[in-house]
């Protein structure tokens, strides 16, 4: 494979864009190579500027559950574009997508659209603080909720991959109101939430962690979180930017049957266009301007093209048996990877929930940030480069997830398993 044109493009990009990328993890720093520049995608296939072809397991970090350039999504966006691209005024499509989200998510009575997952979570914690009159936000080590100041303490994706614990530019006055505790630790959770000295407004959690690699909630953890926050009058926020419409049509809240007070969404609900959303109990959402005093706004919120893409995407997810078939495909693929690792004799922990999974290069069970940090990131980097050379496009970080989509064919998955076995064998050879 030649990456000559991508390398040229990267040099050009670095002259005008910090690091040559518009999001740090894309720079592939933690996997020891330069990024390839993608020019086209269709279904489960990506093509880069050198014409190399890849089976895609990143799916634009989650949105592309239906695969790339799905004809019905493209057709919806093209049709919408023909009527104009942005009005800064309410449109019928916003009502349609909002109604679909409310219909799908058991804990959401009202929803506000924004333009990214970060905007969704940033707005949700402001709302929780405004609604409760309290200040402290509790999050979990290794969970990532976007790059708003309040979250950049032991964040997961991006910051963790770059090894920057928190970030310069975030005033400590902000982060002193953010507490980060270990994921899956009920003991510390209870002690923290019951600490009378803490003026806790909300807890925000990835119901399945996806930004320190895939880490499922331990049995009972989410139930404990729900019962404690209900008892103590703390707003429970599910950050479902990844899990929303990924684990089930009703997201993690349907999958685990746990109802948060607020839900944050992104990725899939935009069908690949920039959409985020936060929603929840009407009693809380009615505190959002202009109904209530909690301010939040956005020029392109509810953009007609993004709404059209989101509506088309969710309609495709309503197909009967969509999630059962995706689960069967994901489970079978994960099982084959586990078998390959055992056959080759390489220590790998394969964490999976539904169609999101991570192969951690470690012999230790991965249940939280500390155990995730034991993974061999050098070995992952070699694996990433070997798989890329073999036409398999993985996340350029050990601390992200691989996604199965409706578009990967049996042949694609067979190729990925074969390449994985080849790469694992090279890794154990040294």
Question: Which residues of the chain form contacts with ligand KE4 (CB under 6 A)?
Answer: 23, 25, 61, 116-118, 121, 144-146, 157-158, 206, 210-211, 239, 241-242, 266, 276, 400
Q: How far is the CB of 209 from ligand KE4 (least distance, A)?
A: 8
For 427, the 3-state DSSP assignment is: helix
Angle at 124 between CA 282 and CA 67, to 5 degrees: 100
Of 146 and 354, nearer to ligand KE4 (C-beta) is 146
To the query of whether residue 12 is one of the catalytic residues in this protein, the response is: no
The kind and range of the H/E element at 223 are helix 221-232
For 424, the 3-state DSSP assignment is: helix
Q: How far is the CB of 34 from ligand KE4 (least distance, A)?
A: 17
Q: Which candidate, 265, 257, 275, places its Cα nearest to that of 239?
A: 265
Q: Residues 312-315: contacts with CB within 8 Å, 24+ apart?
A: 312/70, 312/72, 312/73, 312/75, 312/76, 312/77, 312/271, 313/65, 313/66, 313/70, 313/73, 313/268, 313/269, 313/270, 313/271, 313/272, 314/97, 314/100, 314/101, 314/104, 314/245, 314/269, 314/271, 315/72
Q: Which candidate, 139, 264, 135, 149, places its Cα nearest to that of 201?
A: 135
Q: How far is the CB of 402 from ligand KE4 (least distance, A)?
A: 11
Of 24 and 292, nearer to ligand KE4 (C-beta) is 24
Q: How far is the CB of 119 from ligand KE4 (least distance, A)?
A: 7
Of 27 and 340, nearer to ligand KE4 (C-beta) is 27
Q: How far is the CB of 265 from ligand KE4 (least distance, A)?
A: 9
Compute CA distances 68 → 121, 122, 271, 406, whole Å.
Answer: 26, 28, 9, 10
Beta-carbon count within 10 A of 193 CB = 20
DSSP label at 144?
A: -
Sign of CA dihedral 245, 77, 17, 380: positive
To the query of whether residue 131 is one of the catalytic residues in this protein, the response is: no
CA 381 to chain centre: 21
Of 117 and 354, nearer to ligand KE4 (C-beta) is 117
Q: How far is the CB of 420 from ligand KE4 (least distance, A)?
A: 21
- Structure tokens given for 120: 């969704």
Of 326 and 402, nearer to ligand KE4 (C-beta) is 402
Cα dihedral value 327, 329, 332, 337, nearest 10: -110
Catalytic residue among 110, 134, 154, 267: 267
Residue closest to ligand KE4, measured at CB = 117
To the query of whether residue 185 is one of the catalytic residues in this protein, the response is: no
Q: How far is the CB of 410 from ligand KE4 (least distance, A)?
A: 27
Residue positions annotated with a catalytic role:
144, 239, 267
């Amino acid at each position: 494979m030649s990456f000559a044109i991508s390398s040229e493009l990267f040099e050009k990009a670095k002259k005008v864009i910090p690091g040559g990328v518009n999001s740090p993890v894309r720079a592939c720093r933690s996997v020891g190579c330069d990024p390839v520049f993608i020019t086209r995608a269709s279904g489960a296939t990506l093509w880069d500027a050198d014409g190399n072809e890849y089976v895609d397991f990143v799916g634009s970090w989650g949105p592309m559950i239906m695969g790339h350039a799905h004809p019905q999504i493209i057709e919806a966006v093209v049709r919408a574009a023909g009527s104009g691209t942005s009005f800064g005024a309410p449109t019928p499509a916003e009502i349609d997508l909002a109604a679909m989200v409310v219909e799908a998510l058991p804990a959401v009575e009202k929803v506000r659209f924004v333009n990214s997952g970060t905007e969704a979570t940033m707005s949700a914690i402001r709302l929780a603080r405004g609604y409760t009159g309290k200040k402290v936000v509790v999050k979990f080590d290794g969970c990532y909720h976007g790059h708003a100041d309040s979250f950049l303490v032991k964040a997961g994706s991006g910051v963790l991959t770059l090894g920057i614990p928190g970030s310069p530019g975030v005033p400590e006055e902000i982060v002193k109101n953010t507490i980060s505790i270990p994921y899956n630790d009920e003991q510390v959770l209870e002690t923290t939430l019951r600490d009378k000295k803490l003026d806790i407004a909300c807890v925000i959690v990835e119901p399945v962690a996806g930004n320190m690699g895939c880490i499922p909630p331990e049995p009972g953890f989410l139930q404990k979180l729900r019962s404690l926050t209900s008892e103590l009058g703390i707003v429970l926020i599910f950050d479902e930017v990844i899990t929303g419409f990924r684990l089930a049509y009703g997201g993690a809240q349907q999958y685990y049957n746990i109802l948060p007070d607020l839900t944050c969404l992104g990725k899939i609900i935009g069908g690949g266009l920039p959409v985020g959303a936060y929603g929840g109990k009407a009693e809380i959402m009615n505190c959002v301007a202009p109904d209530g005093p909690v301010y939040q706004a956005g020029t392109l919120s509810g953009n007609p093209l993004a709404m059209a893409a989101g509506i088309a995407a969710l309609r495709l997810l309503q197909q009967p048996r969509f999630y059962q078939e995706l689960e069967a495909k994901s489970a079978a693929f994960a099982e084959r990877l586990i078998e390959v690792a055992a056959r080759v004799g390489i220590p790998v922990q394969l964490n999976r929930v539904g169609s999101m999974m991570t192969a951690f290069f470690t012999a230790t069970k991965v249940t939280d940030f500390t155990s995730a940090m034991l993974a061999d990131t050098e070995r992952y980097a070699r694996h990433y480069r070997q798989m890329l050379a073999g036409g398999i496009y993985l996340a350029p970080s050990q601390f992200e997830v691989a996604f199965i989509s409706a578009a990967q064919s049996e042949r694609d998955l067979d190729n990925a398993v074969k390449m994985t076995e080849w790469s694992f064998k090279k890794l154990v050879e040294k």
